[in-house]
């Protein structure tokens, strides 16, 4: 498969430039706390030492929510195109001290991940598939998931806040029908979660728990 490198460089340079702003604004809107609450409620049963991937981890807010939820036996890997985002992600999870050693970050493209087939029990992704072809991104995620492995995916919603994010961060807005169709071609959708109106994350995102077909 040919990876469009020009687009990759654009996204990388864009996030290298704005990552501090992104990090502060998402901390301000209690994004991590909402993610942590969702994961506490909905995380599926995983193997004793689960292998988990955060695809397009950015500043590591979802990675950190995972770290707090899955327990210290987990091995978590975060990948992102932007080297500066990875530096920030290391600070985000390193600040907490404890299980930092089991979290690894690397600069990589989620369309062409440097992992063997079936390497992970759970893949989480938020705000990254909006930069790529949804079908190709989901198919690469399915490739690295073990049989019966889980995907937690937080797609953008076509709301005012969703469009504001899409324009501000140069994302594509996939319509709910397209999301459902693309996800269903590789995964069984177990649940779709609507966040409470009091949680800013819910103004622009939903969360889907899916299992590899
Ligand atoms: C909106 S941020 C989301 C960050 C984080 N997942 C979160 O929820 O806060 C999007 C991130 O996806 C990354 N990204 C975009 N396209 C990517 C790709 N093809 N491979 C890896 N990372 C990518 C960007 O560099 C950026 O850090």
Q: What total number of domains does the chain contain?
A: 1
Decide if 36 contacts 65 (C-beta within 8 A): yes
Cα separation, 81 vs 85, in Å, equals 8
Distance 53 CA to ligand 1 centre (A): 13
CA-111 nearest atom, ligand 1: 19
pLDDT at 95: 62
pLDDT at 101: 57
For residue 33, the enclosing domain spans: 5-212
Instruction: Profile the chain (213 residues) by mean pLDDT over runs of 10 residues.
Output: 72 92 83 95 95 97 94 92 95 68 90 97 98 96 98 97 96 97 98 95 97 97
pLDDT at 27: 78
- The pLDDT tens digits of the residues spanning 163-208 come to 999 999 999 999 999 999 999 999 999 999 999 999 999 999 999 9
CATH number of the CATH domain containing 192: 3.40.50.150
Distance 44 CA to ligand 1 centre (A): 24
For the entire predicted model, the pTM comes to 0.95
């Amino acid at each position: 498969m040919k990876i469009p490198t020009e687009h990759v460089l654009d996204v990388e340079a864009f996030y290298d430039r704005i990552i501090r702003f992104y990090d502060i604004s998402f901390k301000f809107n209690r994004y991590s706390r909402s993610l942590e609450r969702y994961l506490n409620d909905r995380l599926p049963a995983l193997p004793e030492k689960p292998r988990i991937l955060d695809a397009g981890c950015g500043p590591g807010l979802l990675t950190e929510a995972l770290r707090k939820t899955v327990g210290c036996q987990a091995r978590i890997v975060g990948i992102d195109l932007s080297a500066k985002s990875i530096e920030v992600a290391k600070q985000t999870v390193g600040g907490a001290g404890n299980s930092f050693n089991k979290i690894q970050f690397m600069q990589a493209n989620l369309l062409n991940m440097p992992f063997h087939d079936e390497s992970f029990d759970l893949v989480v992704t938020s705000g990254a598939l909006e930069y790529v072809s949804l079908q190709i991104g989901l198919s690469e995620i399915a490739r690295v998931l073990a049989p019966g492995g889980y995907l937690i995916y937080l797609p953008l919603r076509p709301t005012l806040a969703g469009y504001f994010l899409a324009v501000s961060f140069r994302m594509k807005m996939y319509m709910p029908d397209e999301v459902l169709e693309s996800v269903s071609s590789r995964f069984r959708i177990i649940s779709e979660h609507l966040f409470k109106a009091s949680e800013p994350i819910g103004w622009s995102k939903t969360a889907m728990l899916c299992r590899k077909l």
